[in-house]
Amino acid sequence: EAQVTQNPRYLITVTGKKLTVTCSQNMNHEYMSWYRQDPGLGLRQIYYSMNVEVTDKGDVPEGYKVSRKEKRNFPLILESPSPNQTSLYFCASSSSGTAGYGYTFGSGTRLTVV
């Protein structure tokens, strides 16, 4: 089954404790992206990647890191999480970041930083 797999689904952590949210897709998609979704603010892009070793900042990159060493994986790293990073996070992939192609989203990771 074609899918984007995120882990973990839920995570509660403490301020300052480094964490990684994993994302993997099995569709050989070139383009991958991370979003956060907060009430009233909609989906905001954190980082995206056009291909292996190519990443770029989205609208809200501060406090996050990403890497794209393999085509299928695109982990999101929070080096020193803070309470304002409490949010619902989605990983998504697409054949291409251009017109005519849609996203496949993961099921989400609900992160709480206390």
Q: Give the interface with another protein as residue ranges (CB under 8 A).
A: 4, 31, 33, 42-43, 45, 48, 50, 56, 58-59, 88, 90, 92, 97-108, 110
- Apex CA 66: angle with CA 23 and CA 34, to 5°? 55
Strand, coil or helix: 95: coil
CA distance 24 to 65: 16
Q: How far is the CB of 19 from another protein (least distance, A)?
A: 20
Q: How far is the CB of 26 from another protein (least distance, A)?
A: 16
Q: How far is the CB of 15 from another protein (least distance, A)?
A: 24
When the beta carbons of 56 and 79 are compared against another protein, the nearer one is 56
Nearest to 109 by CA among 21, 48, 1, 26: 21
When the beta carbons of 11 and 43 are compared against another protein, the nearer one is 43
